[in-house]
Amino acid sequence: MGNPERYEEERDDASEADSVEGLADPQIREEVLEALATHADLDMSDVEVYVRYGRVTLGGVVDSRDAKRAATETAEQCAGVIAVRNEIRVETDVDLSDAGWDGTERRTGGRGSSQGRTDRGS
């Protein structure tokens, strides 16, 4: 289960080393949430923020890869943030059947693919 005293020692050491800006994890979390909420081009209403020892983990869902990247960049610029781990999923509202996709997978004919080759041995 671990030695609680050792954990407290590690926590104290990490707090001192990781609080570059002198901010505690709850303060860092609030700063990141505020920065995400006020970002002009993003809807971050489904994004979650976790902070431990100045290290931010982003979770939740956004609608584009650009939004996912912007969330990382925004969090990295906040005071007290040491590192950002982005676990946000990208989900779109696009109905692929409307785009002409019938739901079957096809290989693109790229390297290592047999797509596009003709069988001349028959």
pLDDT, average across residues 55-66: 94
How many C-beta atoms lie closer than 10 Å to residue 59's C-beta?
14
The CATH number of whichever domain residue 61 belongs to comes to 3.30.300
Q: Is residue 105 part of a domain?
A: no
pLDDT in tens, 10-53: 444 444 444 555 789 999 999 999 999 998 777 888 899 999 99
> Which alpha helices (H) appear in the chain, and where do they start and end?
4-18, 25-37, 65-76
Q: How many structural domains is the chain composed of?
A: 1
Whole-model pTM over 0.75: no
Q: Is residue 51 part of a domain?
A: yes
Task: Give the residue numbers spanning the domain of 86.
Answer: 4-90
